[in-house]
Structure formats: C-alpha cells, structure tokens
C-alpha cells in the first residue's frame, strides 16, 4: 500500500541520514586528531618536545655567546703592570684565559648554528620527517627528550614572570620578549618592567598586545640591541590586530618609567611619552609567531 511504501521510504531516509552523520563524525574525529600540518596528535606532541629541547639548548647557546662577547671586550682591556712577581703570575693567567675566549666563542657559535639548522628542519616537517629528526637528535639529547615537559617548559621559559599567561619569544640575541594577551591594561607587565627594558605598541589601535623586550634579563647588555628592538616592534605589529604581511606598521616604544602606572590603562604607552618609533613589518615574524603559539600550546 501507499502508506507502507511511505513508511519504508521514511525508514530508508532515516538510515541514510544516520549513516551520513556517522561518516561526518568520523571525518571530524580524523580532522581533530591532526594538526594544520597533517600531523597525528602523537607526532604533534613529539614535535613540541623536540622543538622545546632544541630551543632550550639554543637559548643557552645565545646567552653563552652574549656573555663571551662581553668577556672578550673586557679581556682586551687587560694591561700588564710591573708590580711584582705575584702580579706577573696573575697577569699571565688573565692572558691565558683571554686567549681561550675566542676559541670558546667559535665553538658556541658553531653549536648555535647546528641547533638553528635542526630547528629549521622541524618547520613544516611531515610525520616521517618529525620522527626521523627526533631519532637523530635522540642520539645526543636522549635524556632531555625523555624528561622534557612541554607544559612546564612553557611556564618556566627564560624571562617568563610568574603568573604571565602570554607568549615568550626569544629575540635574535636571546633576549626574552613578552607578548601579552590583548588588553587595555596590564598590571603584571608594568610590575616586571625594569630600567633597560623597552615597551612596544602600535601607534594606531590601543587594544592590541603589549610587547615587552626584557633586556634586563641579560646582564651583559647595557642597552637593547637594534636587531632585538626591530624584532620586538615586528611582534607588536603582528599582534596589534592590524596589518599582516609586508604592510609597514608604525610602532612606538618607551621605557618602564614612561608607561601608565595606574588607572584603567596600566602598562599602556602614550604617544607623548614615547622615546621613538619603528616602522615594523609583521610579515618578518609571522613564522616565529606561529611557531611560538604552537610550541607553547596556543594553537
């Protein structure tokens, strides 16, 4: 009868819709188990561990290089003074230590280049490439790979103050840069800012992320290197909620004494209090910004 056929048709339609829902759910689960690079969750975690260990090693090499460069500069000022036998022995030791600094600097620089090459290979790596690179690094850093805690590492990054929930990104000279979450005020950053630290903020748009270049964390630097300032300005432009790519963005900077210290705009830069401006290009730090977000669990 027509009613029976209608009932059968409805049952068939319901089964078809149920089957489609199952297929869609399976596809969604498959998609959720993989990253934007097509990596499984297990390989995604392994990649975070691998990159975390490599970055930790690289940051140590950066700090060692900065300290050795400062020591080399000091050693050049060592002068011999005819002041008895004891002084001559001390001077001879100083000369010997000074002679070792360039060799150590070469070793540290070479090791840093090796680590940077390994990090470069991990960028956009396929599943097989991540696993192969992990095994290659494990020959030398097995203990660190086994014990590395990605979440603890994100919390304990060099330069990350207690309670800070934003990004920490190392500058080209290893100076930690804090990228706060978008806010009109930031009491925590204002409290941790020190004399040699610099603040960066887009001139247009006050609701973007505040960026703090923590030069005070590297005692051998008396002021912020230009390349680090440009890197921090690029980050401020990238996270400022404005332009992307090669668009030039005007970013102002100032020191901790000149940022707002109270009220609803704590930590905000005021144009009249700025020390200067930098024309930044957010596209230059797009890869570094995305990698930091992935490595620190923001993506």
pLDDT for res 141 = 92
**Is the CB of residue 259 less than 8 Å from the CB of residue 203?**
no
The pLDDT of residue 11 is 56
Q: Which residues contact 115 (CB under 8 A, 6 or more apart)?
A: 54, 57, 58, 61
Closest C-alpha to 124, from 293, 291, 296, 295: 291
Q: Which two tokens stand for residue 158?
A: 């060099």
Q: Which residues of the chain have pLDDT under 70?
A: 1-37, 75-88, 91, 94, 183-186, 205-207, 241-246, 260-268, 299
**Residue closest to 213 by CA, chosen among 146, 144, 259, 272:** 259
Write down the pLDDT at residue 28.
46
What per-residue confidence (pLDDT) applies to 54? 92
> Tokens standing for 230?
């440009």
Q: What angle do CA 156, 162, 168 make, to 5 degrees?
A: 55
Contact 150, 297 (CB under 8 A): yes
Q: Kindly write down the DSSP assignment for every residue of 2-38, as one continuous string.
A: HHHHHHHHHHHHHHHHHHHHHHHHHHHHHHHTB-TTS
pLDDT at residue 203, as a whole number? 85
Crossing angle of helices 41-75 and 286-295, in 10° steps, is 120
- pTM (2 decimals)? 0.63
């Amino acid at each position: 009868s027509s009613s029976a056929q209608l009932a059968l048709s409805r049952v068939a339609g319901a089964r078809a819709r149920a089957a489609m829902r199952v297929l869609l759910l399976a596809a969604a689960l498959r998609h959720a188990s993989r990253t934007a690079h097509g990596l499984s969750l297990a390989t995604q975690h392994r990649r975070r561990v691998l990159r975390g260990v490599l970055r930790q090693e690289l940051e140590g090499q950066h700090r060692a290089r900065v300290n050795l460069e400062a020591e080399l500069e000091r050693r050049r000022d060592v002068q011999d003074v005819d002041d008895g036998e004891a002084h001559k022995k001390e001077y001879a030791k100083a000369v010997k230590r000074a002679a070792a600094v360039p060799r150590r600097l070469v070793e540290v620089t070479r090791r840093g280049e090796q680590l940077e090459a390994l990090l470069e290979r991990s960028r956009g790596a396929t599943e097989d490439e991540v696993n192969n690179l992990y095994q290659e690094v494990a020959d030398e850093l097995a203990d660190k790979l086994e014990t590395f805690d990605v979440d603890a590492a994100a919390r304990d990054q060099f330069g990350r103050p207690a309670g800070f929930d934003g990004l920490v990104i190392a500058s080209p000279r290893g100076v930690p840069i804090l990228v706060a979450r978008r806010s009109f005020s930031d009491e925590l950053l204002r409290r941790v800012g020190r004399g040699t630290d610099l603040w960066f903020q887009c001139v247009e748009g006050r609701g973007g992320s505040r960026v703090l270049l923590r030069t005070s964390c590297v005692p051998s630097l008396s002021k912020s290197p230009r390349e680090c300032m440009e890197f921090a300005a690029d980050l401020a432009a990238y996270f400022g909620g404005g332009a992307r790519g090669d668009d030039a963005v005007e970013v102002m900077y100032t020191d901790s004494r000149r940022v707002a210290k109270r009220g609803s705009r704590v930590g905000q830069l005021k144009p009249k209090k700025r020390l200067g401006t930098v024309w930044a290009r957010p596209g230059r730090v797009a890869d570094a910004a995305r990698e930091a977000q992935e490595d620190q669990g923001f993506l």
